[in-house]
Structure 1
Amino acid sequence: MTLLERMAESTPFNKDLFLEGIERGIRHLHSLGIVHNDINPYNIMFDELDRAVIIDFDSWQKNGQEFGRSKGTSGWMIEGAEYSLFENDIFGLSKMQEYIYNPSSWDPLNPLGMSTSAKSSQTSTSPTSTGGLRDVSDPFGTAPESPVDGDKQNITTPVPATAQGEGKTKQVLGLGQD
């Protein structure tokens, strides 16, 4: 059963633990230099123990590659992204957090109508504009074995909004304090 189906059923589950499972899956992919590029409720399933399982790898690419024909799902990806970067998955995870903790904010006919836009007004000031090697470490502190060449980056991913979960404030990705 996908997260979308489970949310439609309104069957309770441990949201914090589920998001942590998605985060662990993304960390693993990033440690291999892989970007899923399509983290959304259609592509996360529950196993028999209610653990998160990332599925549908038709948009995956190595970190730093320019997108080909397959990109992520509109509303769940950084709008205008041209490259497969770790930040694409982090953005998708932040949107998942919003969806899980505030499902009424999500309209399946207008996924861009969520509380934060898939666009960011900030641009990267990274040394990549000089055309050199860039630091490919992701926000989890993992990095593939070799740097990636490239002269462009996607727009900066906004920090996930704070979510209210089970009586305490939490932030996915370990960017905040419990």
Structure 2
Amino acid sequence: MERVNRAPGAVKKDTVPEGVGAAVGVLHGLGYCQNDINPTIIMFSARDDDTPALIDYDSARPTGDKLFKGGTPGWKDGDELHFSREENDFRALRALDDYLTQATTSTGEY
């Protein structure tokens, strides 16, 4: 989120959802869902590196498990997430793509 706020045109819009989506695919393959994907849990290893890394897995749970917490306001459907579901992650990935599209195109720099 900091990188987008600092220099929206510097973020390669397609790289972030692609990389985060790949990480989510690995989690799903292991039988887990992240349940709280949003821009504040995505980091980069360097200023000039566009490879995203997911951090903060405290909401990650096995698929189908009841959630005790999950989702960031504005990045989830409804008031609360109740179960760990792949759809939670897919919806958040769509919201992330929308967020990056809006941020990078509103500056006229992308």
Greater relative contact order (Cα 8 A, min sep 6): structure 1 or 2? 2
Q: Which runs of 4+ in 1 moved over 4 A?
A: none
Q: When the two structures are superposed, what TM-score results if normalisation uses the length of structure 2?
A: 0.84
Deviation at 1:73, TM superposition (A): 0.5
Specify the alignment match of 1:33 in structure 2: 31
State whether structure 2 residue 71 is matched by structure 1 residue 72: yes
Measured on the aligned residues, the alpha-carbon RMSD in Å equals: 1.6
After the TM superposition, which of the residue ranges 75-84 and 14-23 deviates more from structure 2?
75-84
Q: Counterpart of 2:14 in 1: which secondary structure?
A: helix
For the pair shown, the structure with the greater C-alpha radius of gyration is 1
Aligned residues: 101
SS of alignment partner, residue 45 of structure 1: strand
Q: Which residue of 2 aligns with 1:6?
A: 3
Mapped contact 2:4–2:11 kept (Cα < 8 A): no
Distance 2:77 2:62 in 1: 17
The equivalences for 1:32-51 within 5 A come to 32-48=30-46, 49-51=49-51
- Report the Cα distance in structure 2 between the residues aligned to 1:21 and 1:62, rounded to whole angstroms: 21
- The percentage of aligned residue pairs carrying the same residue is 34
2:91 aligned partner, one-letter code = F
TM-score by length of 1: 0.53
